[in-house]
Structure 1
């Protein structure tokens, strides 16, 4: 897989940045060429306008915005999903990488 960008969107970016680290470690173990970043939902639009994004994962705390982001990224065929609460709470980078991989296929 050529380099893909996984954007995690959350309320403020604090706890999600911990998950980014766990996801990067899991991606390295799998030999994936991915760029993973966390941005507050208020910055998703500006980031996506200037950078390629291949999948958007929402933190459970902003899951109520799923429909809004699905509509926003639909025309660009960018999948959007909510990170399962259990995987987020346990900072399970492997499971979240698997979720992103499945969405990018």
Structure 2
């Protein structure tokens, strides 16, 4: 990780479940001393926000849109990953951060 604050966008269908994941990721980032801004939004808001993010993390239930989301991320030079169900389903913020860092 660099000294620059990283901007992370988590998207899901409505932004509700990703909100819980984002909160847990913020707690894990703070505990690890990382400077990361993590927001949770509906997938429908992606186009409005993509220019301001470094990482796009996607709820596993949107994996059917992976190619479309990856194309958008690539066009904006944003690293993207579908959060594994084993991490998302347990809202494991620490594991989600580790997943993001490995992208």
What TM-score do you get using the length of structure 2 for normalisation?
A: 0.92
Q: How many residues align?
A: 101
Runs of 4+ in 1 over 4 A off after TM superposition: none
Alignment partner of 1:90: what SS? coil
The one of 47, 50, 55 equivalent to 2:49 is 47
For 1:62, the equivalent position in structure 2 comes to 62
Deviation at 1:32, TM superposition (A): 0.6
Deviation at 1:100, TM superposition (A): 1.3
Partners of 2:62 and 2:76 lie apart in 1 by 21
Partners of 2:76 and 2:45 lie apart in 1 by 18
CA RMSD of aligned residues (A): 1.1
Unaligned runs of 5+ in 1: none
Partners of 2:49 and 2:9 lie apart in 1 by 9
Would you say the 8 A contact 1:12–1:40 is kept in 2?
Answer: yes
The one of 6, 25, 28 equivalent to 1:26 is 28
For 1:86, the equivalent position in structure 2 comes to 86
For 2:98, the equivalent position in structure 1 comes to 98
Deviation at 1:48, TM superposition (A): 1.9
For 2:8, the equivalent position in structure 1 comes to 6
Deviation at 1:77, TM superposition (A): 2.1
Unaligned runs of 5+ in 2: none
